[in-house]
Each structure stands twice: as C-alpha cells, then as structure tokens.
C-alpha cells in the first residue's frame, strides 16, 4: 500500500503517475494520504466480506504486506536519535499499521 500511495500519487514514478507537476496532474501533498485511506477502507471491506461469506468453508487467512524498512539511531545512546528512528518508522509504516 505504501508504494502505490507514495510512488503512484506522491512522486509519480509508479502508475498512474500522478503528482504535483506531473503530466497527468495530481497533488502530492494530499493524494497519497487519500489513496492510503481508501486502500485501508477497501482492505477492511474485503476482510469483512471474506470472513462473512467464505472463511467458514475455506478456512483461509487474509492480511496485507507492508514494506520492511527499519531505522536505527545514528547514535545508539542518544535519546533524540532513538526518537528520530521511531518517528521515521512510524511515518513509513505506522500510517498503515496504526492509522
């Protein structure tokens, strides 16, 4: 979800190639967040539908896959660096794991 939202609507490097200043238009300041929001809503709707109609007979599991970036503090003993590493992780992954 992160790559589609940020690359497709943030910098325009993935389809549909929308971004501020891109050939196909777009707004890099808002569209990635709108897209991410609707991806989460679509996922939640799909999970609910699967659980309601198919899980009992199929017994499957449904989830999502997120990018696996990890951030480490520049200085392991610095509280500021530790906080910065946590903020970076939350910014990249948190908006999907804990919206």
DSSP letters, 69-85, are -----SSTT-HHHHHHH
Same domain, 22 and 54: yes
Cβ neighbours for 84, distance < 8 A, ≥ 6 positions apart: 71, 73, 74
Closest CA to 86 of 98, 28, 41: 98
CA distance 29 to 86: 23
- List the pLDDT tens digit at each of the 99 positions of the chain: 999 999 999 999 999 999 999 999 999 999 999 999 999 999 999 999 999 999 999 999 998 888 878 899 999 999 999 999 999 999 888 888 887
Same domain, 2 and 49: yes
Same domain, 72 and 46: no
Same domain, 55 and 99: no
Same domain, 55 and 74: no
Same domain, 5 and 18: yes
- Its pTM stands at 0.81
Same domain, 5 and 27: yes
Same domain, 10 and 52: yes
Q: 93: domain range?
A: 66-99
């Amino acid at each position: 979800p992160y790559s589609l939202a940020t690359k497709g609507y943030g910098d325009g490097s993935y389809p549909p190639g929308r971004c501020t200043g891109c050939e196909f238009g777009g707004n890099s300041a808002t569209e990635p967040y709108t897209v991410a929001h609707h991806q989460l809503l679509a996922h939640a709707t799909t999970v609910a539908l699967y659980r309601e109609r198919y899980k009992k007979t199929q017994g499957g599991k449904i989830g999502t896959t997120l990018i696996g970036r990890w951030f480490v503090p520049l200085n392991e003993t610095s509280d500021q660096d530790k906080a910065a590493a946590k903020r970076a992780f939350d910014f990249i992954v948190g908006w999907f794991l804990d919206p």
